[in-house]
Chain A
Amino acid sequence: MNSTALKATVAGVALLSMAGWAQAETVRVTVAEYSSKTGPYFEEAAKAFEEANPGSDIQIEVVPWDVLLQKLTTDISGGANADLSIIGTRWLIDFVEQGIAAPLDDYMTQDFKDRFFPVFLEPSVMQEKTYGLPIAASARAMYYNKALFEQAGIAEVPDTWDELAEAAKKIGALGDDIAGFGLQGKEIETDVYFYYAFWAYGGQLVEEDGTSGLDTDAGYKAAEMYKSLIDSGATQPGVTSYNREDVQNLFKQGKVGMMITAPFLSNQIKEEAPDLEYGVAAIPAGPDGERGTYGVTDSIIMFENSQNKDLAWKFLDQLFTTEWRAKFTSGEGFLPVNPEVAAQPAFADNADLKAFTALLPDARFAPVIAGWEEIAATTSDAVQTIYLGNGEPKATLDAAAEEINGILGQ
């Protein structure tokens, strides 16, 4: 049995290396499927590249988001990974620490760097080297329902969390099935929904001394504020059974006055609830005027074991020209990462997008820490405990911070 397996492996390896010989100019690219437009976009880009560079062969592998990390893990452990791949930037630290991602600085000219907003390049810089290029970017802003605002007699969009709490209570009083503020309390990014208030109160996820910032006044105040919103009926009931999509659905049904989420909700409303009158505004500020939105980027990386790095870079260079970026960004509903793209009328005149881009100076990214996913889960658990009333804000956050410090210290 073993020898058969061995033979099969040897034959496979031999075949693979022959394939490598026959087509020395092949670049494989793993891309995440953001929407049904992703695959065709990259196929088109590959075709254009092959025409401009005879003899080259770009192979696109489209993978659903949910299984991307699993696929990359399997490919890497089997040594069968592609040359380029899209990854979530928050995973990058693991790729860099294990020597899997290749630094790109030798290829990047100043001219190339100038094509990007610096804020989006930063997250993929590690140990003073750039390991990824931002292929997709997103931020969060507050959506509000204009009709509900009018019914409740609110003229001004809340700009601070105090104003938001007041407005949420007024809207919540409109009816049993109407909630003032949609609060996410379940599944992925439950912790992020807490950070919006946490940052506004001046909190920092990781303090300067390298410990968790949850056990600070900012943490306690943000948690108490959310809890009082829940207790006063200003949120939808049972927040811990609502994930982000559930809250978005309530918003689309016109049952929620305000919620914080990503640009793609605009596209969804356009298709599913075109009559909904809504606006997009900044995430409210804290007592000292601080505010923070969550910035997320996905990066495209080059693998250290790639055999055709120069050609792979050439393909990247094409992907990040204004023409191809504009096509991708408008197709997927992401934020433009390049100033030239952002200046195009399609983006510059879009009121929703403007609200998001205006927030970018306040954008905070998930810290690049190995084990971030576990820290996020610990935080989510803690805020769920508080939302449920199973723990006092201070005691729960202190315990969570201690646990996080353990992870950070590893």
Chain B
Amino acid sequence: MIRSPLTNPYLLILPGFLLAAFIILWPLYQLGTISLNDVNRFGQLRGLNGVENYVAVFTDPDFLGALWRTFIWTGGIVVGTLIISVPVAMILNEDFYGRSLARVIIMLPWAVSLTMTAIVWRWALNGESGMLNSGLQNIGLIDQNIQWLARASTAFPVQIMIGILVTIPFTTTIFLGGLSSIPDDLYEAAKLEGASRWQTFREITLPLMKPFLNISIVLNMIYVFNSFPIIWATTQGGPANSTDILVTYLYKLGFRFGKLGEASALSVMMFALLLAFTILYVALAMRRERT
């Protein structure tokens, strides 16, 4: 059969590709150019300076700290969300009275802007007049106010917890979709064979949910890695840079210190890092699926 050239698949994806290239590749090219140049704080290029910007970022001790914290941050939120969202989605998938209301309540945080959520939490975490402290005191868990945001040892875990809370709605939605795609007769057959609930979960639910788990992990990894509002609104990466992750560090570098060259170099590195992780994860997940 002779195909019309108009149905050539490459031709058909061309408009979409061009649009994507314009939105993604063009800024990336710009970013790369700036990162290899000496740039003044007004974004005017002052000539090539090779990899100097990259070296400057790498030799900054704050960079390594922020990099390490980014891994904890991303890993903590992605894994934490996964652990909570799977049972939540399974409960919401059951038929019970008031299920639709429960679903709405779970989804609601999604409708609120992330920055607003973070600011509300900042108030709630206030040491003297915060809701969290007075709530904990009322139920007798603590008898003295805790200054949550005063040091990293309390601030960073709380920030990760907020991150988990705001990631749950999206993840649960994906899982609910996945669960509804598992045919009921599989469960019925397993029940007839006398499988326990745990066995059903391990042998039927988990394997069939795998593609959904994978996509949620990849998407959450990308969102969380680049998530700025929670940390910025609560501590701005402080005290003394102890809650900085790469993206807040990037903001300080670019817009506070006016080092646009170094900021661009860091952006390129973050992009490469994220791309590498995503490709690695997708490759691993796919290989396991095939075997």
Contact = CB atoms under 8 A, between A and B. Distances in A.
A241 B149 contact: yes
Contacts of A100: 42
Interface in B229-247: 235-236, 238-241
Given A73-B41, A381-B240, A384-B240, A240 B128 contact: no
A377 B252 contact: yes
A240 B151 contact: yes
B149 A77 contact: no
Interface of B: 18, 22, 40-44, 125-129, 145, 147-151, 155, 235-236, 238-241, 252, 255-258
B239 A185 contact: yes
8 contacts: A1-B22, A76-B44, A77-B44, A186-B235, A186-B236, A241-B148, A241-B150, A381-B238
A384 B238 contact: yes
A73 B240 contact: no
A73 B256 CA distance: 12
A72 to B, nearest CB: 8
Contacts of A338: none
B128 A373 contact: no
Nearest to A236: B128
A256 B239 CA distance: 22
A70 interface: yes
Nearest to B153: A388
Nearest to A177: B128
Nearest to A407: B257
A1 B44 contact: no
Contacts, number: 92
A239 interface: yes
A207 to B, nearest CB: 23
Nearest to B130: A241
Contact of B42 (A77, A236, A377, A384): A77
B255 A70 contact: yes
A240 B44 contact: no
Nearest to A238: B147
Interface in A3-23: none
Nearest to A389: B151
A388 B18 contact: no
B147 A241 contact: yes
Contact of B257 (A371, A387, A388): A371
Contacts of A72: 42
B38 to A, nearest CB: 12
Contacts of B155: 241
A255 B126 CA distance: 15
A367 B239 CA distance: 24
A193 B150 CA distance: 17
Q: Is the interface of B mostly helix, strand, loop or mixed?
A: loop
A374 interface: yes
A100 B42 CA distance: 10
A185 B150 CA distance: 9
A187 B148 CA distance: 16
A177 B129 CA distance: 10
B127 A241 contact: yes
A336 B257 CA distance: 31
Top 10 A-B pairs, shortest CB-CB distance: A238-B147, A238-B150, A77-B43, A384-B239, A241-B149, A241-B150, A240-B239, A381-B240, A384-B240, A76-B42
Contacts of A371: 257
A140 B18 CA distance: 56
Contacts of A382: 240
A408 B145 CA distance: 41
Interface string A209-243: 00000000000000000000000000011111110
Contacts of B238: 186-187, 240, 380-381, 384
Nearest to A179: B128
Interface string A74-94: 101100000000000000001
Contacts of B252: 377
A151 interface: no
A102 to B, nearest CB: 15
A377 B128 contact: no
Contacts of B128: 177, 236, 250, 255
A237 B150 CA distance: 9
Given A98-B42, A381-B241, A388-B239, 15 more contacts: A1-B18, A76-B42, A94-B40, A186-B235, A186-B236, A186-B239, A238-B127, A238-B147, A240-B151, A241-B125, A246-B126, A250-B128, A373-B257, A374-B256, A384-B240
B145 to A, nearest CB: 7
B21 to A, nearest CB: 8
A374 B257 contact: yes
Given A385-B240, A390-B240, A239 B150 contact: yes
Given A1-B18, A94-B258, A388 B43 contact: no
B44 A98 contact: yes
A374 B256 CA distance: 8
Contacts of A250: 128
A388 B150 contact: yes
Contact of A388 (B125, B126, B240): B240
Nearest to B146: A238
Nearest to A371: B257
A1 B19 CA distance: 10
Contacts of A255: 128
Contacts of B127: 236-238, 241-242
Contacts of B256: 373-374, 377
Nearest to B241: A381
A73 B239 contact: no
B142 to A, nearest CB: 13
Nearest to B253: A374
A95 to B, nearest CB: 8
A373 B42 contact: no
A238 B146 CA distance: 8
